[in-house]
Structure formats: C-alpha cells, structure tokens
Amino acid sequence: MSIDKPKEVGPSSAFLKATIFFIFSIWFLALTGSGRAEDRGRIIEFSFGWDVRSQSLGSDYQHQYSPPFEPGPAVSSAFHKLQFQTVRAKGKPIFLGIFPTEKLGIEISYFHLSSPWEGQSSDYEVSLQYISRPPPWYEPVEVTVNWKSSWPPPHGYLDLKILNLNPAIRLSLNHRWEVGLSAGLSSFFLKGELGPLAFTRFWLGGHSVLFSEEYKLLARFIPNHRRGWNAGLSFSGRLLKGLSLFFYGRYFRSAEIPLQLEAVGYDENYQPPGVEPLARMIPYLALRPVVFRPSLLSLSLGLKLSLL
C-alpha cells in the first residue's frame, strides 16, 4: 500500500496566501474603524516616477537548422549564436495606494521597461554534403561544401511589464518625512523581437552547378507571462499640501520565462523582402524558445499626489 506524500506548497503559493491574508486584515481594520486616517483626510495616493538606475536583462540563442537542398537528398547543417542584452534600459513605475487606515494599506503598481538589444554574433557556419553528376560522364560524385562568414550583431527589443499587488505599511518620521514598506505578488509579461536570423537554400542548376541564396530573417518572441514577487522600501518628503517627492527602491524576481521564437518576415535592416516566400522557409527553421529570468532592482525618483 502506497502512502501519499503531503503536497508541498511553493513559494508563490505561500506568498499568495500571505498577501490575501494581509489585504483582508487591512480591510477588516478599515471596516471596524480601527486606526482610520480621519486626521489626515487623505487615503488615496497616486505616484509616478522614473528609474535612475539602468537595467540589464539578456539571454542568448543558438540558431541551428538544416538548409534545404533541391532536387535531391543531402545532409546539411547551419548555425550561428546570438548573445544579447538590453541597452541602458530605464523603467517607468506608476503606483496607486489605498490607505483605509493611517499606517496600513494596499498598493497596486505597474512597472514598464522597453529597450533595444545590443550584443554580438558568432560566425555563420554552413555545411552541405550531396551527390553531384557533372558532365561529361554524369557519374555520381560526393561533394562537401563548408563555409564560414561573419554575421551582423543582434538587434530588436525587449518589452517587460510587471503588475504588482502589495500590502503596504507606512510610518511618519516627522511632519514632513515618511517611510513606506511593501511586498507582494507580481505578474511578469514579456515580448519582443530578435534579428537577424540566417536562412540559406541550395539548388542545382544546369551541368550540376550549385547555387545558393542567403536570407536574413526577423523573428518575434511570442508573448508569455509568469508569476513572481517584489519587495520595496520608499522615502517621501512633503513639498506642498498633497504633493510629495519620493525615492523608491524595489526588487523584482520571477521564475524563468520561456519565449518561443516565431519568424515574421525579412529583416529590412539588411535586405528588402526576397522572392522566396517565408512560408516555404518556416518548416526548416525549427526555432526554439529563449529563456529569460527577470531579476532586477529598480531605483526610482518621482512625485506622489495624495487625494481625499
């Protein structure tokens, strides 16, 4: 007889339960009137800011496939590797705070980061083995072709959006300065583009002369999302009634996010659309996912507007 092991609770599940518990507790205090911020008269806060620290997110991709050959069987391979990371990426955070009590509340925030890629590419290497029947005897001859050529550096962009739901605590240091602490669940959304990816096709012409044509393709990352967590600390100083300057430090972390690559067309940075339809290339490409793991520290400076 087998004994079922107790089901383990992952970090995200534990974080979710803790977040729900704290949010319920905050609203329970609000409904019972305990600690209501009547003396302050403001329970809704809207903040927006700009990152003062650049972020660096990146990955790599080895593009590998078997180039097509016409009009017969052949053994072929091709590959090149792209390494890429974001360029001087700075995020833009927006916060909405709801504080039904003087010290406890709920913070909903949105963080957006979009940046082009920079990086480097390995050489593009191609290998082809096929049977040729050259004149005048047209006897079968095995031919091997190998070549290596430089490849342009990667380009494209990465777009990251993070939505956060946090219980929040804030404490007044004096009549002007305030410190806040919040932590909770995050949802990470990623998408982007990457190019150029190589594609080469081979065919035999008259007298068994080998011809080839090379294409540079653009691919997109099919959007995907994962759940993670965040934690942050803020300091704010009152400038005017209802208006404050704040400094925010927040750490975000997510599980690995795989983004499947999908060819979308020719890379017009290097060549105009070719005569070969993209639909004929796709079965040979065998594009694989690229894995990202967003882990970043955001340092933001901005303004906070208090209402009600």
For residue 201, what are the CA distances in angstroms to 67, 230, 261, 284? 6, 48, 21, 10
Q: pLDDT tens digit string along 177-213?
A: 999 999 999 999 999 999 999 999 999 998 889 999 9
- Measuring CA to CA, which residue among 150, 182, 168, 154 is closest to residue 101? 168
Collect all residues with Cβ–Cβ distance below 8 Å to 266 and sequence separation of at least 6: 215, 216, 217, 218, 272, 273, 274, 278
Whether 27 has a pLDDT exceeding 60, the answer reads no
CB atoms within 10 A of CB 220: 18
CA separation for the pair 189, 277 (Å, rounded)? 31
Q: Does residue 215 or residue 276 have the better pLDDT?
A: 215
User: How does DSSP classify residue 208?
Assistant: G
Q: Is the pLDDT of residue 302 over 80?
A: yes
End-to-end Cα separation, the chain, in angstroms: 63
Which pLDDT score, from 0 to 100, does residue 13 have? Answer: 63
Bridge partners of residue 228, in order along the sequence: 186, 254
What is the mean pLDDT of the segment spanning 258-279?
A: 89
Place of tokens 């949105």: 110
- If you average pLDDT over every residue of the chain, what do you get? 88
Neighbours of 217 (CB within 10 A): 24
Q: Is 147's pLDDT higher than 60? A: yes
Rg of the chain over all Cα atoms, to the nearest angstrom: 28
Instruction: State residue 20's pLDDT score.
Output: 58
According to DSSP, residue 139 is labeled: -
Enter the pTM of the model.
0.84
> Would you say 218 and 266 are in contact if contact means Cβ atoms under 8 Å apart?
yes
What pLDDT score was predicted for residue 283? 94
CA distance 76 to 129: 6
Q: Are 47 and 195 in contact (CB under 8 A)?
A: no
Q: Which of 47, 300, 35 minimizes the C-alpha distance to 169? A: 35
Check whether 9 has a pLDDT greater than 50. Answer: no
| Stretch 7-12: mean pLDDT | 47
Q: List domains and CATH numbers for the chain.
A: 11-307 (2.40.160.20)
pLDDT 10s digits, 151-162 = 999 999 999 999
What is the pLDDT confidence band of residue 41, given thresholds at 50, 70 and 90? very low
